[in-house]
Chains A and B, each alone.
Chain A
């Protein structure tokens, strides 16, 4: 049986914006055919202490690319460890970056949230370095210096719960 609930929300509500700053973004890729080998690398005990604040992976051209945000020290060490063969191919290291993330009562249920987010950032001329949206939340990786401007612009678009 399917149950359908309908609601109306004029301005998209959020529970507020949270930030994490002073992060390093690390990108690497690996052949999809050897994904088990990458799994073995990631499950090594010496990487257990890593606490990625953001992670996405995209599949393309028979490879899987990972983008992780780590604390600066973790990012530097992890990027260096990738350069040791036979590890994944390191592609990019960007520092410093920050993350703004937010969620709301109807995130996951309704349309228009990504549109509101990316249109707002574009109008404010803020470049998005990476983004991941899942489990009813939006994560935006931005140049650290853009964080204040981004939060102000997003705060004007979304209704922040008091």
Chain B
């Protein structure tokens, strides 16, 4: 059977994931968490927010692993989360972004089947205009990439893109 074509793969640096869940005040949580992270100059690499579930609301986000302690500390501080909200953390995750050619849903289904067979977990998914990003455990990222490379047809000589530059927004303007 002919393999589905994809345009490429991109990997994140090592990240950590926070899942915040609670019964109500969902607007407070997304504002509160994003404000708290911004105050510590922590960049959010991945976020999913869905406040409409019938019994609870959920905000999930990933940040760089080296800011795990900072983020945990500010979110665990008394009063940071609304009453009844709980936080679950994963210390080491990675994001694999797949750039589909077409048939995004079929492609996702095939990944779910193959990762499921290899016990590779999916902790979150978000799409953009051109990519589907999946979060998984960081220690299985290489294996997860191998599975995807075996499933789909990639452009010749394609190697997954890995970030090589780190950008930081300065807090001051420096004169020349």
Shortest A24–chain B CB gap in Å is: 14
Shortest A136–chain B CB gap in Å is: 8
Query: B113 contacts A40, CB within 8 Å?
Result: yes
Q: In the complex, A112 Cα to B154 Cα: how many Å?
A: 35
Q: In the complex, A74 Cα to B108 Cα: how many Å?
A: 18
* Chain B residue contacts of A55, Cβ below 8 A: 104, 108, 125-127, 132
Query: B168 contacts A4, CB within 8 Å?
Result: yes
Q: A60-B19, A110-B169, A118-B30 are in contact. Are A132 and B109 (CB under 8 A)?
A: no
* Chain A residue contacts of B130, Cβ below 8 A: 135
Query: A42 contacts B106, CB within 8 Å?
Result: yes
Shortest A81–chain B CB gap in Å is: 12
Spot the interface stretch: B45-53, B75-83, B139-147: B45-53
Which residue of A is nearest B163, CB measured?
A: A108
Which residue of A is nearest B88, CB measured?
A: A60
Q: Is B111 among interface residues, defined by CB-CB distance under 8 A? A: yes
Q: B108-123 vs A: 1/0 string, CB under 8 Å?
A: 1111111111000111
Q: Kindly identify which residue among A67, A109, A117, A137 contacts B50, using a CB–CB cutoff of 8 Å.
A: A67
Q: In the complex, A47 Cα to B125 Cα: how many Å?
A: 19
Greatest chain A CB density within 10 A among B37, B58, B169 is at: B169
Query: B128 contacts A110, CB within 8 Å?
Result: no
Q: Kindly identify which residue among B35, B124, B169 contacts A106, using a CB–CB cutoff of 8 Å.
A: B169
Query: B131 contacts A135, CB within 8 Å?
Result: yes
Q: In the complex, A5 Cα to B167 Cα: how many Å?
A: 5
* Chain A residue contacts of B117, Cβ below 8 A: 36
Query: A111 contacts B43, CB within 8 Å?
Result: yes
* Chain B residue contacts of A117, Cβ below 8 A: 34
Q: In the complex, A134 Cα to B17 Cα: how many Å?
A: 13
Shortest A162–chain B CB gap in Å is: 21
* Chain B residue contacts of A135, Cβ below 8 A: 10, 97, 128, 130-131, 133
* Chain A residue contacts of B41, Cβ below 8 A: 111-112
Q: A7-B167, A50-B105, A134-B95 are in contact. Are A118 and B31 (CB under 8 A)?
A: yes
Which residues of A does B touch, CB under 8 Å?
2-9, 27, 32, 35-36, 38-45, 47-48, 50-52, 54-60, 64-67, 91-92, 94, 101, 103, 106, 108-115, 117-119, 122, 127-137, 139
- Ordered nearest first, which 10 A-B pairs have the shortest CB separation? A43-B109, A39-B112, A42-B109, A36-B116, A39-B113, A57-B125, A109-B167, A132-B126, A115-B38, A114-B34
Extra contacts, 11 of them, besides A56-B126, A139-B128 (Cβ < 8 A), are: A5-B167, A35-B116, A42-B105, A47-B105, A51-B104, A52-B104, A55-B104, A58-B124, A114-B34, A132-B48, A132-B127
Which residues of B does A touch, CB under 8 Å?
10, 19, 21, 27, 30-31, 34-35, 37-38, 40-54, 56, 58, 60-61, 95, 97, 103-117, 121-133, 164-170, 172-174
Jot down 19 A-B pairs with beta carbons below 8 A, ordered by A: A3-B165, A5-B165, A6-B170, A35-B116, A43-B108, A48-B103, A51-B104, A57-B125, A59-B124, A66-B125, A112-B41, A114-B38, A122-B31, A128-B30, A130-B48, A131-B48, A132-B47, A133-B48, A134-B126
